[in-house]
Amino acid sequence: MPRIRSELVDEAAARAIVTAGRRLGARGLVAAAEGNLSVRLDHDRLLVSPTGRRKDELDADDLVVVELATGRTVGTGRPSSDIAIHSAVYLARPDVRAIAHAHVPAALALTLAGEAPDPQVLPETALLLPRVPLVPFGTMGSEELAARIAGALAQDAGDGPPRAAILERHGAIAVGSTLVEAVDALELVDLLCRVWRDARLLAPTRRFGPPFPPPGSDRTSA
Ligand SMILES: [Zn+2]
Protein backbone atom coordinates (compact mmCIF):
# COMPACT_ATOMS: atom_id res chain seq x y z
CA MET A 1 0.00 0.00 0.00
CA PRO A 2 1.53 3.34 -0.98
CA ARG A 3 2.12 6.12 1.52
CA ILE A 4 -0.96 8.13 2.48
CA ARG A 5 -0.70 11.75 1.30
CA SER A 6 -2.27 13.38 4.30
CA GLU A 7 -2.72 12.60 7.95
CA LEU A 8 -6.36 13.56 7.29
CA VAL A 9 -6.84 10.34 5.38
CA ASP A 10 -7.74 7.22 7.23
CA GLU A 11 -5.55 4.39 5.95
CA ALA A 12 -8.25 1.70 6.19
CA ALA A 13 -10.73 3.88 4.28
CA ALA A 14 -8.14 4.57 1.57
CA ARG A 15 -7.32 0.89 1.25
CA ALA A 16 -11.05 0.06 0.98
CA ILE A 17 -11.49 2.46 -1.96
CA VAL A 18 -8.36 1.28 -3.79
CA THR A 19 -9.43 -2.37 -3.37
CA ALA A 20 -13.04 -1.69 -4.39
CA GLY A 21 -11.88 0.09 -7.56
CA ARG A 22 -9.86 -2.95 -8.58
CA ARG A 23 -12.86 -5.22 -7.85
CA LEU A 24 -15.13 -3.14 -10.09
CA GLY A 25 -12.50 -3.19 -12.84
CA ALA A 26 -12.01 -6.96 -12.61
CA ARG A 27 -15.75 -7.48 -13.10
CA GLY A 28 -15.97 -5.13 -16.08
CA LEU A 29 -18.23 -2.69 -14.26
CA VAL A 30 -16.11 0.41 -14.92
CA ALA A 31 -14.80 1.62 -18.30
CA ALA A 32 -12.25 4.41 -18.74
CA ALA A 33 -12.77 6.92 -15.88
CA GLU A 34 -16.37 5.89 -15.12
CA GLY A 35 -17.70 5.11 -11.66
CA ASN A 36 -16.95 6.48 -8.23
CA LEU A 37 -16.46 5.31 -4.67
CA SER A 38 -16.61 6.97 -1.27
CA VAL A 39 -16.31 6.23 2.44
CA ARG A 40 -17.58 8.33 5.36
CA LEU A 41 -14.49 9.26 7.41
CA ASP A 42 -16.39 10.83 10.29
CA HIS A 43 -19.44 13.01 10.91
CA ASP A 44 -18.16 15.82 8.67
CA ARG A 45 -15.88 14.35 6.00
CA LEU A 46 -15.89 11.88 3.14
CA LEU A 47 -13.02 10.17 1.33
CA VAL A 48 -13.88 10.11 -2.40
CA SER A 49 -12.34 8.78 -5.60
CA PRO A 50 -10.95 11.50 -7.91
CA THR A 51 -12.51 12.65 -11.18
CA GLY A 52 -11.00 11.66 -14.51
CA ARG A 53 -9.07 8.62 -13.30
CA ARG A 54 -9.44 4.87 -13.88
CA LYS A 55 -10.97 3.41 -10.72
CA ASP A 56 -9.03 0.17 -11.06
CA GLU A 57 -5.65 1.94 -11.01
CA LEU A 58 -6.06 4.24 -8.00
CA ASP A 59 -3.48 4.75 -5.24
CA ALA A 60 -4.25 6.05 -1.77
CA ASP A 61 -2.55 9.33 -2.75
CA ASP A 62 -5.15 9.94 -5.47
CA LEU A 63 -8.13 10.07 -3.09
CA VAL A 64 -9.81 13.32 -2.12
CA VAL A 65 -11.23 14.47 1.23
CA VAL A 66 -14.49 16.40 0.96
CA GLU A 67 -16.56 18.20 3.59
CA LEU A 68 -19.99 16.59 3.71
CA ALA A 69 -22.01 19.72 4.48
CA THR A 70 -20.35 22.09 1.98
CA GLY A 71 -18.95 19.78 -0.72
CA ARG A 72 -15.64 21.66 -0.33
CA THR A 73 -12.39 19.80 -0.93
CA VAL A 74 -10.06 19.55 2.05
CA GLY A 75 -6.45 19.60 0.80
CA THR A 76 -5.68 18.78 -2.82
CA GLY A 77 -7.32 16.83 -5.63
CA ARG A 78 -10.61 17.06 -7.50
CA PRO A 79 -13.39 14.75 -6.33
CA SER A 80 -15.71 12.72 -8.55
CA SER A 81 -18.15 14.71 -10.68
CA ASP A 82 -20.91 12.69 -8.98
CA ILE A 83 -19.94 14.07 -5.54
CA ALA A 84 -23.38 15.71 -5.15
CA ILE A 85 -24.99 12.26 -5.29
CA HIS A 86 -22.68 10.87 -2.61
CA SER A 87 -23.21 13.87 -0.30
CA ALA A 88 -27.01 13.77 -0.69
CA VAL A 89 -27.15 10.03 0.05
CA TYR A 90 -24.96 10.34 3.19
CA LEU A 91 -27.11 13.21 4.45
CA ALA A 92 -30.33 11.25 3.82
CA ARG A 93 -29.00 7.96 5.21
CA PRO A 94 -26.99 8.42 8.45
CA ASP A 95 -26.56 4.61 8.60
CA VAL A 96 -24.62 4.53 5.31
CA ARG A 97 -20.81 4.46 5.66
CA ALA A 98 -19.82 3.73 2.04
CA ILE A 99 -21.14 4.19 -1.51
CA ALA A 100 -20.25 2.50 -4.82
CA HIS A 101 -21.54 3.81 -8.15
CA ALA A 102 -20.79 2.44 -11.62
CA HIS A 103 -22.23 2.71 -15.10
CA VAL A 104 -23.13 -1.01 -14.92
CA PRO A 105 -23.51 -2.00 -18.61
CA ALA A 106 -26.44 -4.41 -18.13
CA ALA A 107 -28.34 -1.80 -16.09
CA LEU A 108 -27.71 0.79 -18.82
CA ALA A 109 -29.02 -1.65 -21.45
CA LEU A 110 -32.18 -2.51 -19.52
CA THR A 111 -33.12 1.11 -18.87
CA LEU A 112 -32.47 1.99 -22.54
CA ALA A 113 -34.98 -0.76 -23.38
CA GLY A 114 -37.46 0.56 -20.79
CA GLU A 115 -37.03 -2.47 -18.52
CA ALA A 116 -36.82 -2.53 -14.70
CA PRO A 117 -35.77 -5.93 -13.31
CA ASP A 118 -37.70 -7.38 -10.38
CA PRO A 119 -35.28 -8.56 -7.63
CA GLN A 120 -37.96 -10.92 -6.29
CA VAL A 121 -37.42 -13.37 -9.19
CA LEU A 122 -34.04 -14.60 -7.90
CA PRO A 123 -33.56 -16.07 -4.39
CA GLU A 124 -30.26 -14.24 -3.79
CA THR A 125 -31.57 -10.79 -4.73
CA ALA A 126 -34.99 -11.40 -3.11
CA LEU A 127 -33.14 -12.06 0.14
CA LEU A 128 -30.36 -9.49 -0.03
CA LEU A 129 -31.81 -6.73 -2.26
CA PRO A 130 -35.57 -7.13 -1.96
CA ARG A 131 -36.24 -3.69 -3.41
CA VAL A 132 -34.18 -1.95 -6.11
CA PRO A 133 -35.89 1.31 -7.09
CA LEU A 134 -35.48 2.76 -10.57
CA VAL A 135 -34.55 6.45 -10.54
CA PRO A 136 -35.60 8.37 -13.70
CA PHE A 137 -32.85 10.10 -15.68
CA GLY A 138 -31.61 13.48 -14.49
CA THR A 139 -28.91 15.90 -15.64
CA MET A 140 -25.50 14.52 -14.70
CA GLY A 141 -23.96 16.29 -11.72
CA SER A 142 -27.18 18.17 -10.87
CA GLU A 143 -28.46 18.70 -7.33
CA GLU A 144 -31.90 17.67 -8.56
CA LEU A 145 -30.66 14.21 -9.64
CA ALA A 146 -28.71 13.85 -6.37
CA ALA A 147 -31.85 14.64 -4.34
CA ARG A 148 -33.94 12.11 -6.29
CA ILE A 149 -31.38 9.33 -5.84
CA ALA A 150 -31.07 10.11 -2.11
CA GLY A 151 -34.87 10.14 -1.82
CA ALA A 152 -35.16 6.72 -3.49
CA LEU A 153 -32.49 5.23 -1.22
CA ALA A 154 -34.10 6.69 1.92
CA GLN A 155 -37.58 5.34 1.20
CA ASP A 156 -38.49 2.66 3.74
CA ALA A 157 -41.45 0.55 2.67
CA GLY A 158 -41.46 -1.32 5.99
CA ASP A 159 -38.63 -3.68 5.04
CA GLY A 160 -35.84 -1.14 5.59
CA PRO A 161 -34.44 1.33 3.04
CA PRO A 162 -32.97 -0.11 -0.20
CA ARG A 163 -29.31 -1.10 -0.50
CA ALA A 164 -29.19 -0.17 -4.18
CA ALA A 165 -30.96 1.68 -6.96
CA ILE A 166 -30.84 1.49 -10.75
CA LEU A 167 -30.35 4.85 -12.45
CA GLU A 168 -31.98 5.34 -15.83
CA ARG A 169 -29.21 5.59 -18.50
CA HIS A 170 -26.67 6.05 -15.68
CA GLY A 171 -25.99 2.57 -14.22
CA ALA A 172 -26.51 1.77 -10.57
CA ILE A 173 -25.60 2.90 -7.07
CA ALA A 174 -25.24 0.83 -3.90
CA VAL A 175 -24.67 1.63 -0.24
CA GLY A 176 -23.40 -0.25 2.80
CA SER A 177 -21.93 -0.04 6.25
CA THR A 178 -18.62 -0.89 4.54
CA LEU A 179 -17.40 -0.46 0.97
CA VAL A 180 -17.22 -4.26 0.63
CA GLU A 181 -20.95 -4.39 1.39
CA ALA A 182 -21.70 -1.64 -1.13
CA VAL A 183 -19.67 -3.33 -3.90
CA ASP A 184 -21.33 -6.68 -3.06
CA ALA A 185 -24.73 -5.03 -3.55
CA LEU A 186 -23.59 -3.43 -6.83
CA GLU A 187 -22.41 -6.84 -8.06
CA LEU A 188 -25.82 -8.32 -7.22
CA VAL A 189 -27.54 -5.55 -9.19
CA ASP A 190 -25.24 -6.39 -12.10
CA LEU A 191 -26.10 -10.10 -11.77
CA LEU A 192 -29.85 -9.35 -11.63
CA CYS A 193 -29.66 -7.08 -14.68
CA ARG A 194 -27.61 -9.56 -16.71
CA VAL A 195 -29.93 -12.46 -15.85
CA TRP A 196 -33.02 -10.36 -16.58
CA ARG A 197 -31.56 -9.24 -19.92
CA ASP A 198 -30.61 -12.81 -20.91
CA ALA A 199 -34.04 -14.15 -19.91
CA ARG A 200 -35.75 -11.45 -21.96
CA LEU A 201 -33.61 -12.38 -24.96
CA LEU A 202 -34.76 -16.00 -24.65
CA ALA A 203 -38.47 -15.44 -24.03
CA PRO A 204 -40.95 -13.06 -22.34
CA THR A 205 -40.20 -13.12 -18.60
CA ARG A 206 -42.60 -15.42 -16.74
CA ARG A 207 -44.07 -14.48 -13.38
CA PHE A 208 -43.15 -16.56 -10.33
CA GLY A 209 -44.27 -16.74 -6.73
CA PRO A 210 -41.94 -15.46 -3.99
CA PRO A 211 -38.82 -17.65 -3.58
CA PHE A 212 -39.13 -17.75 0.22
CA PRO A 213 -42.00 -18.56 2.58
CA PRO A 214 -43.68 -15.50 4.08
CA PRO A 215 -42.23 -14.00 7.29
CA GLY A 216 -43.25 -15.97 10.37
CA SER A 217 -42.88 -19.40 8.77
CA ASP A 218 -39.55 -21.25 8.61
CA ARG A 219 -37.21 -19.11 6.56
CA THR A 220 -34.42 -20.61 4.53
CA SER A 221 -31.32 -18.69 3.63
CA ALA A 222 -29.41 -18.63 0.38
ZN1 LIG B 1 -22.07 8.35 -12.85
Number of structural domains (the chain) is 1
Evaluate whether residue 172 is within a structural domain. yes
Q: Does residue 75 lie within any of the structural domains? A: yes
CATH number of the domain enclosing 24 = 3.40.225.10
**214 inside domain:** no
Average pLDDT, the chain: 91
Give residue 143's domain range.
11-202
SS (H, E, C) the chain: CCCCCCCCCCHHHHHHHHHHHHHHHHCCCCCCCCCEEEEECCCCEEEECECCCCCCCCCHHHCEEEECCCCCEECCCCECCCHHHHHHHHHHCCCCCEEEEECCHHHHHHHHCCCCCCHHHCHHHHHHCCCCCEECCCCCCCHHHHHHHHHHHHCCCCCCCCCEEEECCCEEEEEECCHHHHHHHHHHHHHHHHHHHHHHHHCCCCCCCCCCCCECECCCCC
Tell me the average pLDDT across 71-79. Answer: 92
Ligand 1 mean position, distance from CA 200 (Å): 26
Give the pTM: 0.89
The pLDDT assigned to 214 comes to: 76
Asked if the structure places residue 210 within a domain, the reply is: no
Mean pLDDT for 37-48 is: 96
Does residue 96 or residue 220 have the better pLDDT? 96
Residue 221: pLDDT over 70:
no
Provide the pLDDT for residue 2.
Answer: 42
The reply to whether 209 falls in a domain is no
**Does residue 91 sit within a domain?**
yes
pLDDT of amino acid 203: 77
Is the residue at 5 inside a domain? no
Quote the ligand 1 centre to 220 CA distance (angstroms): 36
218 domain-assigned:
no
CA 80 to centroid of ligand 1, rounded, Å: 9
Q: How far is the CA of 195 from the centre of ligand 1 (A)?
A: 22
